[in-house]
Amino acid sequence: MNYTQEMNLVSKSGYCMPFEEKNGEVKMTLGYGKQIHPVTQEEFFHHGVDFATHRYILTAVADGVVSGIGSSPTHGLFQMIRYGKYEVAYTHLTHALATFGTRVKAGSMVAISGDLLHIEVKHDGTEINPMEFLAMLYSNLLTLRQQGHPSMPDLAFLEMDIPTDYDDDREEIEELMLRFYPEYLLEVGNGSYHVPEHTEQSLRNIFSLSAVKNYFYEMMPSLANPLGIGERSMPIAARVQNLLIGDFLNYLALRHQLFLSTLSENDKKKRSTKP
């Protein structure tokens, strides 16, 4: 099925590409149609297109509604959004931020990709080449700009790989969070574990400074990003991440005598006695 002008998508909130491509760094790794499998070298029909992404924020491309979320052996975690007669599937996700039934607008953050993003598109139930759909979106964006409208929305995107002081221990920390993070939140909530005063004060200072410098509401707020933070706030996000991860590790040391395997014995003693 080929795209025709009658299939043009109409959206009051404007249009947005699924992700922002910076300096040409995102490459299409597999096209639509007959392809050679990169592992088996066998010919097969590819029903979508693949992009090399790593934890990119994915956005709604127009006015729509989340029509499906699920998981499959082939596509992993996937999310489907209906835009009029179009239905677009994002697959191989790490997170689906917009839940089933959520109404979205162009630029709303809806998901986070994994190491690759597989996109499939149907129009009125018939599969089409996603590149034709993306070309239509891009054309609509150019038309709006030529008419004097800004990109709708003209957003700064966040990459999810926010650098922290704990990047070398990321896998170990994630394993500890899977096991202990709910308990940590529960104890913080009921007051049985108190966040150190210096941590609370640091967070207050960071958010106060961010408000003064207008880091909040830099972009259109959404359910997934209620403060509307954009790329300028990346250093702030990194500082907050450092504080929150550090406090979680502090909790593990005090409550469970658990430490990162990379800590020296001297550092372990400091953490186990730190108020």
pTM reported for the whole predicted model = 0.57
What pLDDT, on the 0 to 100 scale, is given for residue 183? 85
CA dist 166 and 159 (Å) reads 17
Longest dimension (CA), the chain: 70
Phi-psi region of 243 (alpha: psi -120 to 50; beta: other; left: phi over 0): alpha
What average pLDDT does the segment 227-250 reach?
Answer: 80
* Residue 44 to residue 116: CA distance in whole angstroms: 19
Nearest Cα to 240, choosing from 204, 188, 190?
A: 204
User: What torsion do the CA atoms of 160, 166, 170, 173 make, to the nearest 10 degrees?
Assistant: -120
Q: What pLDDT, on a 0 to 100 scale, did the predictor assign at position 220?
A: 63
Return d(Cα 16, Cα 9) in angstroms, integer: 12
Question: Which fold would CATH assign to domain 5-146?
Answer: Glucose Permease (Domain IIA) (2.70.70)
In contact, 11 and 144? CB cutoff 8 Å: no
C-alpha dist (Å) from residue 224 to 97, 167, 220, 221 = 6, 24, 11, 8
> pLDDT tens digits for 189-206?
888 898 888 888 888 888
Domain extents for the chain? 5-146, 167-273
* Tens of pLDDT, residues 128-163: 999 999 999 988 888 887 776 655 454 433 333 566
pLDDT tens digits, one per residue of 53-76: 887 888 899 999 999 999 999 899
Query: Distance (Å, rounded) from C-alpha 263 to C-alpha 33?
Result: 51
